Amino acid sequence: MKISEFRLHSLAVADGPLRSSYGRHAPYALRTIVELKTTDGLTGISETYGGDGPLAALEAVRPLVVGRDPFQLTSLWMSLGQRTEFERQGTGDRSQTHLVPGENPMDVHTRTLAAIEVACLDIIGKAVGKPICDVVGGRARSSPPFSAYLFYKHGGGGGLGADAREDEYGECLDPQSMVRQCKQMIANYGFKEIKLKGGVLDPDAEIETIKQLRAEFGPAYPLRIDPNCAWSVETSVKVGRELREELSDGGYLEDPAAGLDGMAEVRRRLLAEGNDTPLASNVATTAFEHLPVARRLDSVQIVLSDPHYWGGIRNQQHLSKFCEVLGMGLSMHSNNHLGVSMMIMAHASAACPHLTYACDTHYPWQTEVDEVVLGGRVPIVNGCVEIGDKPGLGVELDYDQVARGCERYAKLPYRKRDDEAEMRQHVDPNWKRILPRW
């Protein structure tokens, strides 16, 4: 069997004005759907970051993909997974401290490889009649858990003009409205763990938000807060101190300060106070080479992986082993995504023996209107995604919906995520991302 066609679909997906330390989300998030067809008539799909950068990286490997046997993933890795000169020289900062995910030139190879690997695994699953997680060794769990991912946000549900989406969760820029958002999201999806995207309001208001969430939901719902390194070491220690109780019982403090050294200092100072709240990261740890350093410095106790930029589902399994051996926890990071990525994340989580927390997902922030999965959105029930026994990823494309997403994309004036520009346009004409802000 050989890959005979390689199709790429650039989509725009409506997204609300969510806030983070990067700025404000644009009315449409960008995604790419990858489709591989084989000489045997099988189609494998996957989903990844969108816009010009990720698309060009995928286009660049087209000659290496067409004609390949989709079962030969090792040689795929060997030809696509080679590091660029830029990476080999180690001149770049591979962390995501200064770049939104999907725009980091240091992970272009693992990002591109991941998209192709997943589409090949989808083909393999279809060829042998098994779900991906069973193809890569079998499942550790059949219904991986996800968490309620809360965002401060302005009013608006995403999209523009006649294409605007309903604003399901409303404006949410204070602790009370965040409790309301969380209740609504838990009522809709049954999540059992809660993550707050911070780095938006003054840290005291974010501390108060976490306290109100704890008062409302109690210790049965572990809590985490992630300001995407918007805080100084001093502020991080203060937040860690004031939220010591709330972030215990299965919670964590995620990327409070920038860099492995900054995180190590936060950890050292909290431990000196007898506070062992674990620190998690998807910003400072984005590649295998970061792990021994993070372990030695004790900067990060929980790695937040992401099959989309760690190199795919099999690399996620390797990461699970690494974390287990190094005594680190493992969970999963997310960005705005559709149902194909939902299933990628679910299979990746199912196939990892060592996965210690419910994974992130932005899925509640997208709607049925934009979904490209045939039959509609992937259900999240009791906070979990059921893998089932359909072959491959277990989902197919709705080509009419893909075409609608491509039409939206064609009309957009932008080709990359730029949350700072959105802030300047809608909130403050002089806004810049400053690290640390507080």
Shortest reach from residue 299's CB to ligand GKR, in Å: 16
Shortest reach from residue 246's CB to ligand GKR, in Å: 19
In the chain, the N- to C-terminal Cα span, in Å, equals 56
Using the structure block, give the residue that is written with the tokens 């004031």: 242
Shortest reach from residue 337's CB to ligand GKR, in Å: 10
**What is 27-93 written as a DSSP string?**
SEEEEEEEEEEETTS-EEEEEEE-SHHHHHHHHHTHHHHTT--TT-HHHHHHHHSPPPHHHHHT-S-
Q: Which residues of 314-333 are buried (b: 16+ CB within 10 A; e: fewer)?
A: bbbbebbebbbeeebbbbbb
CA atoms within 13 A on the CB side of 12: 25
C-beta closer to Mg ion: residue 48 or 282: 282
DSSP-derived pairing of the beta strands 43-49 and 28-38: antiparallel
Annotation marks residue 211 as catalytic: no
Neighbours of 60 (CB within 10 A): 12
Shortest reach from residue 374's CB to ligand GKR, in Å: 26
Q: Which of 196, 213, 192 is nearest to 144 (CA)?
A: 192
- Strand-pair partners of 97: none
Q: 256 in helix, strand or coil? A: coil
C-beta closer to ligand GKR: residue 147 or 277: 147
C-beta closer to ligand GKR: residue 24 or 214: 24
Residue 335 binds which of ligand GKR, Mg ion, none (CB < 5-8 A, kind-dependent): ligand GKR
Contact residues for ligand GKR (CB under 6 A)? 18, 20, 22, 100-101, 197, 226, 228, 282, 333-335, 360
Shortest reach from residue 281's CB to Mg ion, in Å: 7
C-beta closer to Mg ion: residue 22 or 409: 22
Of residues 113-152, those binding Mg ion (CB under 5 A): none
**Region for 394 from its dihedrals, namely left if φ exceeds 0, alpha if ψ lies in -120 to 50, beta otherwise:** left
DSSP-derived pairing of the beta strands 194-197 and 223-226: parallel
- φ/ψ (deg, to 5) at 418: -140, 85
C-beta closer to ligand GKR: residue 11 or 132: 11
What is the rounded CA–CA span in Å between residue 47 and residue 259?
Answer: 29
Tell me the site size for Mg ion, rule CB under 5 A: 3
Annotation marks residue 362 as catalytic: no
- φ/ψ (deg, to 5) at 421: -60, -40
**Contact call for residue 265 and Mg ion (CB under 5 A):** no
The single residue of 333, 337, 347, 362 carrying the catalytic annotation is 333
Q: Any idea what the Cα angle at residue 363 is, between residues 311 and 162, rounded to 5°?
A: 120
Q: Which of 15, 107, 134, 226 binds Mg ion (CB under 5 A)?
A: 226
What is the rounded CA–CA span in Å between residue 46 and residue 381?
Answer: 23
Shortest reach from residue 195's CB to Mg ion, in Å: 8
The single residue of 197, 290, 347, 362 carrying the catalytic annotation is 197
Q: 232 in helix, strand or coil? A: coil
Select the residue whose beta carbon is closest to ligand GKR and give its number. 20
Shortest reach from residue 171's CB to ligand GKR, in Å: 17
Residue 246 binds which of Mg ion, ligand GKR, none (CB < 5-8 A, kind-dependent): none
**Contact call for residue 401 and Mg ion (CB under 5 A):** no
> What length does the chain have?
438
Q: Which of 104, 282, 286, 331 binds Mg ion (CB under 5 A)?
A: 282
C-beta closer to ligand GKR: residue 255 or 371: 255
Neighbours of 154 (CB within 10 A): 18
Which residue ranges make up the site for Mg ion (CB under 5 A)? 226, 254, 282
- Positions marked active-site: 197, 333
